[in-house]
Structure 1
Amino acid sequence: MQERKVEVAIIGAGSAGLSAWRAAREHSDKVVVIDAGPLGTTCARVGCMPSKLLIAAADAAHRAQHAGAFGIDVQGVRIDGRRVMQRVKSERDRFVGFVLEDMDRSIEDENLLCGRARFVADGVLRVQGPGLDVQVQAERIVIATGSRPDAPAAWRSALGERLIVNDDVFDWTDLPASVAVIGTGVLGQEIAQALHRLGVRVRLLGRGAGVGPLTDPALAALAGELFDAALPLHREAELLDLARDGDGVSLHWRTPGGEHRERFDFLLAATGRRANIDVLGLENTSLPLDAHGTPRFDPLTLQVEGAPVFIAGDANRDRPLLHEAADEGRIAGGNAGRWPALEQGLRRTPLTIAFCEPQIAIAGQSHTALRAAHTAFATGAVSFVDQGRSRVMGVNAGALHVYATPDSRRLLGAEMLGPAAEHIGHLLAWSVQRGETVDTALEQPFYHPVIEEGLRTALRDLRRKLDTATPCEGCTPGD
């Protein structure tokens, strides 16, 4: 076994790890990146990009099939699953290639260890891979190991390769005839709707009454209604039994409407993700762990309590989103590089987007977060049912709620279900981060006719409520 001493070791070459590498190298030349592969980041390989490619194909099919609303009859729409998946994988590979090219340019071969890292003691890692067995003694360490889909072991035992996770979808060469999706979070919702629009027989099952990330009760209820109509959705579903059935899967579940039995080609488990820290040998260190086995850390510096160790990205379970992972990697890598001096990094306004239809966005503080903090706030609302440009485009569904504090009139956050939520969510996140008030936001230009005029309507409603002292939510702590 070889031995190597470095100033900074970064475990993981995903979005957080690569950002950490760039930041650490500004302070030290003795930095290594360790990754067991495959390289290319979760986002590019099996996450953000291939899922949006699948959604883009589904949206194209949906528009063709529903062009009749505009007086345009499209005849003979045929979805070629092989060509759909060929484009998804081809474009996915291009995105992965860009990441690999950037790594080749920025990381010297001797500073990239392709193997699996495991702590053997504080500050000491053993890295093993094909033809590699090296013990790395690092003065500082960044844990940026990401996360992986988590599915119950009992399901895997019962179903074998007929149980899949979202990563597996992007290995398909053709679309299957049928898929059951369990989990109504963002991943389950996006993939289920995309497959449904591409002609796959889909059932989306969720344990709760909600679907997607919305926390505002009125919007969550509206989301249930709209997605009930948009795809075969079974909310409040209790899974009674699952079994392998030849080259497929048999499911038995119960909803408030009764019991259901159906056979599918695959069961896709969209039941959450697990941080990749359980294989790091943290038990061999003195790092303090929380109830989930995650090292306790400062969210502003990313330092693990009392140690020259930093944790960034999905590994810390804080904000599992790519832009947050990149920010956290930059903070963690910079602090590891400049150790023992530490700087609090910029934590941006929270922003969550779901690329279903209608789209979902949460910008700034959510309704639940405001209530939990006993923050007094007023709500401005708009429905997109009669919003001008939305009706023109035939996407007039959903609503937007904007929140502001009564005393300073400062914007706190918003939740939205509707057209162009990915864009309006950005506008609102920028306004919240700049500390804008309702009044300064309304001073900005709004072109006509655009969907963003719906945002102006919600802001005007919010201003009216603040001006007329309309009772606000959360005005009484614990209400």
Structure 2
Amino acid sequence: MAATGARLLMETLTPDLCIIGAGSAGLSLAAAARALDLSVVLIERHRMGGDCLNTGCVPSKALIAAARHAHAIRRAAAFGVTAGAVAVDGERVRAHVRDVIAGIAPHDSVERFERLGATVITDHARFTGRDRLVAGGREIRAKRFVIATGSRPAVPPIPGLDGVPVLTNESVFDLAALPERLVVIGGGPIGVELAQAFRRLGSAVTVIARSEILPKDDRDCVAVVRDRLVAEGVEIRERATVDRVERADDGILVTVGAAGGTERIPASHILVAAGRTPVTDGLDLSAAGVAETERGITVTPTLMTSNRRIYAIGDVTGSFQFTHWASHQAGQVLRTILTRLPQAERRDAIAWVTYADPELAHVGLGEAEARRRHRSVKVLRSPYAENDRARADRETDGFVKIVTGPGGRILGADLVGAAAGETAALFALAVSSRLKVGDFARMVTPYPTLAEVAKRAAVTSYADTSKHPLVRRVIQALRRTL
């Protein structure tokens, strides 16, 4: 009877939209929904801004920026500039990272979203039925719910790993002193980015990858990144397994198995960057009739769960784990909810960047996937070494590869080189707008810029065309009219 009385006293909110999770996906959705005058309840049990602001994109790029400056000092002599020995203060690097987070935090804050008109609840959410949940002592019965709770680092079941201190992206940016010897378990983007950053800041670094590093990227592009990492002193063990971790008198020993045998690698710190797992604990999804697997919440192409009132977006769905993709899904699901017209994902237009040096970027379809889907595929390339700006900057490693389909339509691109992520934005527009390679070839780019590499690759499409017999005859006829 007392429990029934407590429910009667609980305040009930009936918004148009209830969003669970205030990371990239949830915040993008909340801001867009309020701009359209929808009533919104936003629930976050931890920190506003989620992984991206606090432990992911923002702090990692701030750390990479610090490492880039250290690297620039070391190579200054190539430009005729004499600099002293590089001295890195770990505490000041950490302060820089925290300052960057603090500068962005107000944009993601409770105060900002309350000013936008959202009701923000800082508590855990738990479904109590198919059309309701409780959080912060209130019951929410929304017209639609959107789960955007994100993901957390996955820690593999390696013998002995639970007996030593382990870093993940949630703790590595809190280090006041730089690791003396860092072993990175995982060769994906996070592992590669942080491995290079810590090496440039002075740590000895070893990367252990179960397959090859950056396995989802173009292999020719990855080779350029791998060569740079090795040249800078990062040790890489590919197709290797971590068999055991144990304490030693002077730190930690990591036993690694590979085709060449077993190796014991000493470490002062271990960073686990071996994938992520969706965050759904405590939501009581079964009470809401929402299906999930180990990969995440099960959704349709329109991001609807097994309960038609409830949608899921971002990392919790097991989809691409990128901030920009989460924001894209936020817009997609809002259009679906408002119009009742299914808005399907455009996975063929996905883009991503690994912020190593050189940067590695991918847009749309890779060469292999394009050839599986299309009969007529042409690949166009242009090296950074033929770009004047790259030569002036001494950044000649890398190339642009454009994948074109029937009629010269740009299906995708892979880029590796300085500022490749910035140039990739051109290809993201090209793929989403279904532009053709001729549109790039006719583009007037400022000189000298690195983006000219993209245009130069497009111009190569005319090389074969000019050799066609019919085209040759037309050119000969035009010559006679000169």
Cα distance 1:411–1:466, how it changes in 2: closer, same or farther (>3 A)? farther
Structure 2 counterpart of 1:409, one-letter code? G
Match of 1:59 among 58, 65, 68: 68
Mapping 1:46-445, distance limit 5 Å = 46-100=55-109, 101-108=111-118, 111-127=119-135, 132-154=136-158, 158-160=162-164, 162-211=165-214, 213-215=216-218, 217-230=219-232, 231-245=234-248, 248-289=251-292, 292-299=295-302, 302-305=303-306, 307-336=308-337, 338=338, 341-342=340-341, 344=343, 347=346, 349-374=349-374, 376-405=376-405, 407-445=406-444
Give structure 1 stretches of 5+ with no counterpart.
470-479
| Distance in 2, Cα, partners of 1:375 & 1:123 | 48
Structure 2 counterpart of 1:122, one-letter code? R
Q: Is the 8 A contact 1:298 1:304 kept in 2?
A: no
TM-score by length of 1: 0.87
1:333 Cα deviation from its structure 2 partner: 3.8
Q: Is the 8 A contact 1:179 1:202 kept in 2?
A: yes
1:307 Cα deviation from its structure 2 partner: 0.8
**2:448 counterpart residue number:** 449
1:410 Cα deviation from its structure 2 partner: 0.8
Q: Is the 8 A contact 1:380 1:463 kept in 2?
A: no
Structure 1 counterpart of 2:148, one-letter code? A
Of 44-53 and 321-330, deviating more is 321-330
Q: Is the 8 A contact 2:27 2:108 kept in 1?
A: no
**Larger relative contact order (C-alpha < 8 A, sep ≥ 6)?**
1
**1:475 counterpart residue number:** none
1:383 Cα deviation from its structure 2 partner: 2.3
Residues 432-464 of structure 1: CA deviation (Å, up to 9, x unaligned)? 222221112100113333222322232122343
1:294 Cα deviation from its structure 2 partner: 1.8
Identity %: 28
Q: Is the 8 A contact 2:131 2:141 kept in 1?
A: yes
Cα distance 1:374–1:408, how it changes in 2: closer, same or farther (>3 A)? closer
1:169 Cα deviation from its structure 2 partner: 1.5
Number of equivalences: 456
Cα distance 1:447–1:40, how it changes in 2: closer, same or farther (>3 A)? closer
| Distance in 1, Cα, partners of 2:296 & 2:85 | 54
> Secondary structure of 2:99's match?
helix
1:71 Cα deviation from its structure 2 partner: 2.5
Residues 245-285 of structure 1: CA deviation (Å, up to 9, x unaligned)? 36832101134455422221211110111121344222223
**1:473 counterpart residue number:** none
| Distance in 2, Cα, partners of 1:115 & 1:90 | 26
| Distance in 2, Cα, partners of 1:466 & 1:150 | 51
1:208 Cα deviation from its structure 2 partner: 1.3
**2:477 counterpart residue number:** none
Q: Is the 8 A contact 1:158 1:244 kept in 2?
A: no
| Distance in 1, Cα, partners of 2:127 & 2:160 | 29
Cα distance 1:145–1:206, how it changes in 2: closer, same or farther (>3 A)? same
| Distance in 2, Cα, partners of 1:97 & 1:307 | 34
Give structure 2 stretches of 5+ with no counterpart.
1-5, 469-482
Q: Is the 8 A contact 2:289 2:307 kept in 1?
A: no
| Distance in 2, Cα, partners of 1:26 & 1:359 | 35
1:62 Cα deviation from its structure 2 partner: 0.2
> Secondary structure of 2:125's match?
strand
Cα distance 1:119–1:77, how it changes in 2: closer, same or farther (>3 A)? same
1:357 Cα deviation from its structure 2 partner: 0.6
Cα distance 1:438–1:13, how it changes in 2: closer, same or farther (>3 A)? same
